[in-house]
Amino acid sequence: MNSGDTAFVLISAGLVMFMTPGLALFYGGMVRAKNVLGTVMQSMFALGLVSVLWVLIGYSLAFGPDKGHLIGGLDYLGFAGVGQEPNADLAPTIPHLAYAAFQLMFAVITPALITGAFAERMKFSGYVAFTSLWLLLIYAPLAHWVWAPGGWIRELGALDFAGGTVVHMNSGVAALAAALVIGKRKGFGTQAFVPHNLPLTILGAGILWFGWFGFNAGSALAANGLAASAFIATNTAAASGAVGWALYDALSRRKSTTLGVASGAVAGLVAITPAAGFVGPMASVAIGLAAGLVCAFAVGLKFRLGYDDALDVVGVHLVGGMLGALLIGVFGNAAFNPAGGDGLLAGGGLALLGKQAVAAAATLVFSFVGSFVLLKLVQATVGLRVTAEEEATGLDLAQHAEAGYAFSEGAGGLAPHAGHGAPAAAPAPGPPVRVPQGDSA
Amino acid sequence: MKLVVAIVKPFKLDEVKEALEGVGIQGMSVSEVRGFGRQRGHTEVYRGAEYQVEFLPKTRIEIVVDDDQADDVVKAIVAGARTGSIGDGKVWVVPVEQVVRIRTGEMGVDAL
């Protein structure tokens, strides 16, 4: 056990946790004002829902002792046997609990990423059902394949440092399935869906960028040189992605946009995620720049192909994640990490690229088909989509009985509490309303 | 009595207010509105998707004045709000039947 490594991984887990509220703001600013809370909720609630499911069963399915190279056993249900001592197979220098906590934060943000695709029209109950099923039946197995000892993609020798396949391609292709199954928002392609608060989105992107240091550098699972290398790769790619998207905007529209810079930074971060521990700083510039340019183009495809991926999860996470996963096969260099491999430019030939392509293809097929089936299942039972009237009203009021922004003091009084026996028609004097006054006694 | 209504560019509000004070106007109501005339709207771009935004932010000013002040007030608003470019707005004058000062109950011109 190494105290430096333990401290670093625990802090990194905290950084990754902070990405999910960051994502909430990133997405929340991009929707219309009437849907801001519904959108924020789909990220924030994942922190609650997934954290519980992860302790109960998710971690065991992903990282329990291998069963047939496909799934983890049930040994770690309820974190049984996940203790303060290291697990030599998973992370030999930190407590097993620290590793499980770090992995938990990845499991939280991944389904939250998908929510951008079905933003502004998903039922909260449908989101809860889908997220629960998806975590256990899609995320956990894929995390096992790629990261757990015995997982078939890991044994194949394909590389994924921090989640290009497990997190980004996985959520991105599930997002495509979700956009197809739930259908377009009313007015898609004809009506203007203008982001209601871009400063919120920019702040969210900044929090994501900050948290991503934990995501990528933390994936070294040690406070060492590899972590520092991944840290620089992460920042460099985020920066290059922002520059790349701004360049694309400037060349195609003559004006660089703040949403473009925020999106480009995220695209660069997505693309470097699988590669951060396997490439050097110059490759990070290339990967980030490529992500900024390619993703800026890719987000326009939804209008041509006709799927309503509301907040561009496909264009940024699927395309960016795939780009990064494949570019490891080009830029990978074992000089930066002996556990990595040499790509095309480091003289490794096409072998690594081939393995990366197999891992990418397996992720795409498994996650798309599995997510599609789960979405259809939820659609047929709980239901996925709000009614047309609720969609027009907005998710905040229709799904959560709240308003994101109260611009006036409003009118009306306290509604009678049905639960307290007050008849709805004639409001009787109910229990006194306790308004917090800041007094402690 | 007349009600003078003006729709002006929001950034010209201060100049209009100063011009109105210059002709002795002591009160006015201002609201933020959206609209378009011949100026039409502008284009906004979000992740490459272009949207035509037709309704632009404008400021609506309302002042009730005695009949003989109306022309001066209109001139002051026009002088304060004009930039010479498209979208400067409009001013119109309509008759007012009655005005009551709520605090005192005064009516008509006394209430102005």
Contact check, Cβ <8 Å, B49/A257: no
In degrees to the nearest 10, what's the CA dihedral of A235, A241, A243, A246?
-140
Average pLDDT over residues A364-389: 98
Residue pLDDT, tens place only, A214-248:
999 999 999 999 999 999 999 999 999 999 999 99
In degrees to the nearest 10, what's the CA dihedral of A85, A88, A92, A95?
-20
Q: A300 vs chain B: nearest CA distance in angstroms?
A: 7
Q: What are the phi and psi torsion angles at A66 (to 5°)?
A: -60, 135
Fill in the amino acid letter for A242.
Answer: A
Residue pLDDT, tens place only, A151-190:
999 999 999 999 999 999 999 999 999 999 999 999 998 8
Other CB atoms within a 10 A radius of the CB of residue B92 amount to 10
Contact check, Cβ <8 Å, B51/A192: yes
Residue B28 lies in domain = 2-111
Rounded CA gap, A393 and A375, in Å? 24
* The pLDDT of residue A440 is above 70: no
Report the domain count for chain B.
1
Contact check, Cβ <8 Å, B47/A194: no
Contact check, Cβ <8 Å, B51/A194: yes
Q: Which of A108, A87, A100, A90 is nearest to A22 (CA)?
A: A108
Chain A environment of B46 (Cβ under 8 Å): 194-195, 257, 259
Residue B23's CATH number: 3.30.70.120
In degrees to the nearest 10, what's the CA dihedral of A18, A23, A25, A26?
140
Rounded CA gap, A22 and A61, in Å? 27
Say if A186 falls within a structural domain.
Answer: yes
Say if A29 falls within a structural domain.
Answer: yes
Residue A101's CATH number: 1.10.3430.10
Query: If you compute the radius of gyration of chain A from its CA atoms, what whole number of angstroms results?
Result: 22
Nearest to B46 among A195, A296, A315 (CB): A195
Of A409 and A193, which is predicted with more confidence? A193
Chain A environment of B34 (Cβ under 8 Å): none
CA distances (Å), origin A156, targets A227, A357, A364: 24, 11, 17
Rounded CA gap, A370 and A71, in Å? 15
Q: At what angle do helices A258-272 and A3-30 cross, to 10 degrees?
A: 140
Whether residue B102 lies within 8 A of chain A, CB to CB, comes out as no
Of A440 and A159, which is predicted with more confidence? A159
| Tokens 């906590």 sit on residue | A101
Say if A105 falls within a structural domain.
Answer: yes
Q: A169 vs chain B: nearest CA distance in angstroms?
A: 20
Q: What angle do CA A194, A179, A367 make, to 5 degrees?
A: 135
Sign of the Cα pseudo-torsion (A21, A52, A321, A30, in order): negative
Average pLDDT over residues A8-14: 98
Partnered with residue A50 across adjacent β-strands are none
Mean pLDDT, consecutive 10-residue stretches, chain B (112 aa), reads 96 94 92 87 86 88 95 96 92 96 94 88
* The pLDDT of residue A441 is above 50: no
Q: Which of A24, A125, A117 is nearest to A309 (CA)?
A: A117
Q: Is the ipTM of this complex over 0.85?
A: no
Task: Tell me what the pLDDT averaged over chain A comes to.
Answer: 94
Chain A environment of B43 (Cβ under 8 Å): none
Chain A environment of B49 (Cβ under 8 Å): 300, 303
User: How much is the pLDDT for A419?
Assistant: 56
Within A316-434, residue ranges assigned H as helices are 319-331, 351-380, 388-393, 395-400
What tokens appear for A131 in the block? 């997220």
Chain B environment of A303 (Cβ under 8 Å): 49
Report the domain count for chain A.
1
What tokens appear for A352 in the block? 């690594």
Nearest to B45 among A255, A263, A312 (CB): A255
Whether residue B31 lies within 8 A of chain A, CB to CB, comes out as no
Nearest to A303 among B49, B51, B52 (CB): B49
Average pLDDT over residues A78-98: 97
Chain B environment of A249 (Cβ under 8 Å): 45, 48
Q: What percent of chain A has pLDDT over 70?
A: 93
* The pLDDT of residue A49 is above 90: yes
Contact check, Cβ <8 Å, A192/B47: no
Q: B11 vs chain A: nearest CA distance in angstroms?
A: 22
Other CB atoms within a 10 A radius of the CB of residue B56 amount to 17
User: How much is the pLDDT for A411?
Assistant: 58
Residue A344 lies in domain = 3-392
CA distances (Å), origin B70, targets A174, B24, B66: 65, 12, 7
Fill in the amino acid letter for A246.
Answer: A
Residue pLDDT, tens place only, A104-160:
999 999 999 999 999 999 999 999 999 999 999 999 999 999 999 999 999 999 999
Asked if B16 and B75 touch (Cβ cutoff 8 Å), the reply is no
